[in-house]
Structure 1
Amino acid sequence: MPLAEIPLCVWRTRGRSFIFRGQSIRYWTAGQGAPLLLLHGFPTASWDWHYLWAPLAQRFRVVACDMLGFGDSAKPLDHRYSLIEQADLQQALLEHLRIVQPVHLLAHDYGGSVAQELLARHHEGRANIASCALLNSPLFPELCPSPLIHKLLLSPLGWLVARSFGRDDLVDTVSQLYGPCTHPSESALDDCWSLLLSNRGTRILHKLMAWVPERHRYRQRWVDALQAPGVPLRLIQGAVDPLHGARVVERYRQLLPEADAVLLPGIGHFPHTEAPAQVLRHYLAFREQPLKWLPQRVAWS
């Protein structure tokens, strides 16, 4: 049975705000139990998780925020955006909510890089991570080609490209990343555009692209964090994602001999919106494994 969606207009009414380094951050929380932190991708927002929100909240205390520069959170123009700061933001949100117990992570894309930084901090004794599941994230940046729009935004004329970026550009960019049979509806694209426009977000798109060179800069630190023992990991990957598809799983298996990975045939870059029921099933199976971490085989679903 398909999972019910939460309309964006309803989602927005359920959000709350807190102040992080002088900037207003929108966040959501629901449910009880072990804390589960959801980390969204680029250039979207926490609403990406709306299909999974209710079923996850039935089992866990789910927490998510629109990161700085995304969604309905502040998008300061004169700001140097950084994945490191986004990890600081996640820890500040947990502190704001007085969550002190170990936190489980479920992350996609840009959020996957933030999750890797949190894993690195865990192994340094500066965070407390219980487990981490990753969806189509740039774990190995050398394998992840940049779309044309990313290259343009990173160019000296990126500020101009950002300010002229329109809904049609979003549709063209996003549509190339979905599976052949899982394209989003026009209303879903309208909602994504609304989140991008919120707080005049197109003005800073080029500034958010700092994450591309940053993930190369911290590549070894973040791969080391994946390879370090002690935190259960699962990779759930849309197999036909042109950015982070099956080749990422191959490298993941090479570098993590006991890798736990699931490939979703026919699914592209957004498995949590393209195939939310499959993602939920594989995530809950991951969480239901014995506390003692056991090697897992790569599975196809």
Structure 2
Amino acid sequence: MSGCATPSELPRWFDGFQRFPIRTASVNGHRIAYLDEGQGPPLILLHGYGGSMWQWEYQQIPLARQFRVITPDLIGSGLSDKPALDYRPEELIESIRGLMDALGLPTATLIGNSMGGGVAIGMALTHPDRVSRLVLIDSLPDHVRERLASPLMQRALNTSVPAWLARFGALFVGNRTMEAVLKEIIYDHTLVTPAVLDRSNRNRQREDMITPLMSLRDSLPLWEQQFAPRFKDVHHSTLILWGEQDRLFPPQVGRDLQATIPQARLIIIPDAGHIPQWEQPHVVNRHITEFLQP
């Protein structure tokens, strides 16, 4: 979840199980990196806190058979710019609206995992006419700190370590921390291979990710104040998918979320943790495709 500053050039290809060209768009003066595959009704796939587009690598080909699949690195993450912002919820929301404008998309279905689910909910509440449907995967709930079941993630949210010290620590224990984080969010630890660890660490080391991560953490009270109390005002057709073995937010959190969104249905994904779209992609892709049928 942390990284040290090692600037690098934007790679030409997305390093997934198959290569996809990385594109960029200027949004509010900042570069947003994204994948754009397939044709059809547009889907925008939003990753979680500390994540990147690689968490959607198993959605690119299957979903692109029927849809236009747009997968950005959120501002402050991955290959996108990491400007000196407060990373308030509305700034993330406006970056997605701006990306849609840049791509000429009046509306899209938003599919968000974890924090990306929170951004999707924020878009649905702030710009309801720009969102056609919602898919929330182990999404950001209300009362995040109280609902968070993982001691490791609780420490990450509650730490008061200054950014410079976090960067210094990342030089010595960053790789071990990354492995611990992956094993916390992924249920099947055999999937945390050396190749996955290497890719995660390379993503962490591209640029300074510490400052955006800490700013996102510090903006969490704004999410609780501005958006979490308004789940009942989301009137879009909504599919909630939840990993049965999620160690961060147990399935009851998903059940509570379903109860507060009027048009939501919930499906529990067996043998999956916090990123079921990566751990059980065939199951998740099938549910998404069925939900999005006319």
One fold, TM greater than 0.5? yes
Rounded Cα–Cα distance in structure 2 between residues aligned with 1:215 and 1:170: 26
Give 1:8 shift. Answer: 3.9
Rounded Cα–Cα distance in structure 1 between residues aligned with 2:105 and 2:126: 17
Rounded Cα–Cα distance in structure 2 between residues aligned with 1:282 and 1:31: 19
- Tell me the residue number matched to 2:131: 129
Question: Can you give the 5+ residue segments of structure 1 that lack an aligned partner in the other structure?
Answer: 1-5, 292-301
Give 1:154 shift. Answer: 4.5
Residues 139 and 223, structure 1, Cα contact 8 Å, conserved in 2: no
- Tell me the residue number matched to 2:285: 280
- Tell me the residue number matched to 2:46: 39
Give 1:10 shift. Answer: 6.2
Residues 116 and 225, structure 1, Cα contact 8 Å, conserved in 2: no
Matching residue's letter, 1:96: A
Question: Does residue 113 of structure 2 align to residue 111 of structure 1?
Answer: no
SS state at 2:198 partner:
helix
Rounded Cα–Cα distance in structure 2 between residues aligned with 1:258 and 1:61: 24
Residues 74 and 199, structure 1, Cα contact 8 Å, conserved in 2: no
Q: 1:236 to 1:23 in 2, by over 3 A?
A: same
Question: Does residue 248 of structure 2 align to residue 235 of structure 1?
Answer: no
SS state at 1:266 partner:
coil
SS state at 2:185 partner:
coil
Give 1:254 shift. Answer: 3.3
Question: Does residue 32 of structure 2 align to residue 25 of structure 1?
Answer: yes
Residue by residue over 1:43-85, the C-alpha shift from the partner in whole angstroms, topping out at 9 and shown as x without a partner, is 1111211111111111111112111110011123x32112211
Residue by residue over 1:186-220, the C-alpha shift from the partner in whole angstroms, topping out at 9 and shown as x without a partner, is 21121122112212324543223234333322344
Q: How does 1:191-202 map to 2 (within 5 A)?
A: 191-202=199-210
User: 2:217 aligned to 203, 209, 215, which one?
Assistant: 209
Matching residue's letter, 1:144: L
Q: 1:116 to 1:225 in 2, by over 3 A?
A: farther
- Tell me the residue number matched to 1:190: 198
Question: Can you give the 5+ residue segments of structure 2 that lack an aligned partner in the other structure?
Answer: 1-13
Residues 116 and 222, structure 1, Cα contact 8 Å, conserved in 2: no
Q: 1:253 to 1:87 in 2, by over 3 A?
A: closer
Question: Which of 1 and 2 has higher RCO (CA within 8 Å, sep 6+)?
Answer: 2
- Tell me the residue number matched to 2:155: 151
Give 1:16 shift. Answer: 1.4
Residue by residue over 1:220-267, the C-alpha shift from the partner in whole angstroms, topping out at 9 and shown as x without a partner, is 4441333xx3x2100011011021221113313433476411101221
Normalising by structure 1, what TM-score?
0.83
Question: Does residue 66 of structure 2 align to residue 59 of structure 1?
Answer: yes
Rounded Cα–Cα distance in structure 2 between residues aligned with 1:132 and 1:143: 22
- Tell me the residue number matched to 1:168: 176
With 166-175 and 202-211 compared, the bigger mean Cα shift is at: 202-211
Rounded Cα–Cα distance in structure 1 between residues aligned with 2:38 and 2:122: 26
- Tell me the residue number matched to 2:269: 264
Q: 1:168 to 1:44 in 2, by over 3 A?
A: same
Residue by residue over 1:87-113, the C-alpha shift from the partner in whole angstroms, topping out at 9 and shown as x without a partner, is 10111111111112x311111011001
Question: Does residue 120 of structure 2 align to residue 120 of structure 1?
Answer: no
Q: 1:80 to 1:265 in 2, by over 3 A?
A: same
Q: 1:212 to 1:162 in 2, by over 3 A?
A: farther
- Tell me the residue number matched to 2:140: 138
Give 1:161 shift. Answer: 2.5
With 54-63 and 155-164 compared, the bigger mean Cα shift is at: 155-164
Q: Count residues in correspondence.
A: 275
SS state at 1:51 partner:
coil
Rounded Cα–Cα distance in structure 2 between residues aligned with 1:255 and 1:9: 37
Give 1:119 shift. Answer: 0.8
Normalising by structure 2, what TM-score?
0.84
Among the aligned pairs, what percent are the same residue? 25
Rounded Cα–Cα distance in structure 2 between residues aligned with 1:79 and 1:243: 27
